[in-house]
Chain A
Amino acid sequence: MKAAAFDYVRPRNVAAAVDLLAADKGQAQLLAGGQSLLPLLNLRLASPARLIDISRLPELAMTDEDDATVTLGAGVTHAMIEDRRVPDPSQGLMPHVALGLAYRAVRNRGTLGGSLALADPAAEWPAVLAALEAEIGVVGPNGRRRLSGTNFATGIYATRLAEDEIVTALRIPKLSRAARWGYAKLARKAGAFADALAVAVADPRRGYGRVVLGAANGPPLVMTEAGRALAGTRRDPEQLRRAVETDLDSAADRRFDAYQRRLHRAAAMRAIVQVIQ
């Protein structure tokens, strides 16, 4: 199939993009790397009247770094993270995740901001950035604001982003050298979307522990009990296992069937084991 017709505009800067988006409210859609949008267009599952191409706005490709954080522009591609062409706040977690995300040809165009804004439940970045407690910078007609990466996604393809806002950058706290992370993606084929996905991060110096599930029938699922157990100093695998079960029990709204629950449990424990071993 071929895409239905649309107009195409390429604004010069983010401000112009915001204006265009506001002017065409509901009719226009942002085009970044297009690696999720183009399939939807080609299958005519999406048919916006206008595409606003923000894929090459220099402002969105900016990166910045200070002692405590790394800021990555929304237009940073998966391949840039994979190749460490941008600073890594995550002691190697983000490049590792990028390497297993789709395929190189997709990673060369797909962007961090696009992935977050789309909020595909099976995507990697929403879960990873929730585990890293990233902050998401957005801009709209009413100016800039920052949103928490932990609850940025609100559902399947749903976020806190307003219709006329653009994700501009991610501000990601740096993990200390003592921090450890674990990542488990269960997918039937390399590069395919995950059946289950878990990120575990522990930074003992900050007393920081997070376990987040992706592909979880909704937005990333923050496993609070498991995260708390992981933040502690005495980390007993059996206790962590119980914490994971408790978290899965309290996620009844996700309606996991037996298979999914088993896979999520396995993914979570594998990510956790990588941290504590």
Chain B
Amino acid sequence: MTAIRVIVNGAEVIDNVAPRTSLGDWLREGRNLTGTHLACEHGVCGACTVLVDGEPIRACLMLAAAGEGSEVRTIEGFDADPLMMALRDAFHRRHALQCGFCTSGMLITAWDLIRRGKASSAAEIRRGLAGNICRCTGYTNIVAAIAEAATAAEGVGDGE
């Protein structure tokens, strides 16, 4: 077992993990943060996307042990985040989710696209979503929702 100390959604967690445990499995099974979904476990589908030290990563392609000293943020850790609130609202109003299994990863990827200023057009959003598979919606509404949240975020910035 490997001892780790990780900040998860703002709170320090100290744990012992089997070296082979992925960050995704540790969050789900060890921390009960089941909003992070595992759908392929080989890095293609994007359902398990979480933030590590502020950047989106695949929780299935990182060992929990390698997370030592990092700050991890999962979908459960965005409840008070204004940009995430805007995204959630846009996803709701635009019917950008159906079964909900890809949604956590979609939202975190979208959050990062907007934060980096990479959501300026439908085409740019679509490229930015290339690593997140949605099997239900056909993407049209997801793209529209992200575009809307991006515009809203820009508007807030302009007003300041």
A interface vs B, CB < 8 Å? Answer: 1-8, 10, 31, 34-35, 38-39, 41-43, 51, 53, 55, 79, 102-106, 108-109, 189-191
B46 sits at the interface (CB 8 A): yes
Chain B interface bracket (under 10, 10 to 19, 20 to 34, 35 or more):
20 to 34
Given contacts A105-B46, A191-B131, whether A35 and B109 have CB atoms under 8 Å apart is no
- C-alpha gap A34/B23 in the complex (Å): 12
| Contacting residue for A104 out of B60, B68, B128, CB 8 A | B128
Given contacts A39-B61, A109-B61, whether A4 and B130 have CB atoms under 8 Å apart is no
Are B18 and A105 closer than 8 Å at their CB atoms? no
B55 CB contacts on chain A under 8 angstroms: 79, 108
B43 CB contacts on chain A under 8 angstroms: 35, 38-39, 102, 106
Are A105 and B25 closer than 8 Å at their CB atoms? no
Given contacts A34-B61, A105-B49, A106-B58, whether A4 and B66 have CB atoms under 8 Å apart is no
Are A6 and B109 closer than 8 Å at their CB atoms? no
B interface vs A, CB < 8 Å? Answer: 2, 18-20, 22, 25, 41-43, 46, 49, 52, 55-58, 60-63, 65-66, 68, 109, 112, 127-128, 130-132
Are A105 and B22 closer than 8 Å at their CB atoms? no
| Contacting residue for A103 out of B18, B46, B63, B68, CB 8 A | B46
Are B61 and A189 closer than 8 Å at their CB atoms? no
Are B56 and A104 closer than 8 Å at their CB atoms? yes
- C-alpha gap A3/B52 in the complex (Å): 21
Are A105 and B65 closer than 8 Å at their CB atoms? no
A31 CB contacts on chain B under 8 angstroms: 63, 66
- C-alpha gap A214/B3 in the complex (Å): 41
Residue of A nearest to B42 (CB): A39
| B38 CB to nearest A CB, Å | 10
Are A55 and B56 closer than 8 Å at their CB atoms? no
Given contacts A43-B42, A104-B112, A106-B58, whether A53 and B66 have CB atoms under 8 Å apart is yes
| Contacting residue for A42 out of B60, B128, B130, B131, CB 8 A | B60
A-B contact pairs, 6 of them (CB 8 A): A3-B22, A5-B18, A34-B63, A38-B60, A38-B63, A42-B42
- C-alpha gap A205/B61 in the complex (Å): 44
A102 CB contacts on chain B under 8 angstroms: 43, 131
- C-alpha gap A102/B55 in the complex (Å): 15
A5 CB contacts on chain B under 8 angstroms: 18-20
Are B57 and A109 closer than 8 Å at their CB atoms? yes
A105 CB contacts on chain B under 8 angstroms: 46, 49, 56-58, 109, 131
Residue of A nearest to B1 (CB): A8
- C-alpha gap A71/B113 in the complex (Å): 29
| Contacting residue for A190 out of B18, B42, B57, B130, CB 8 A | B130
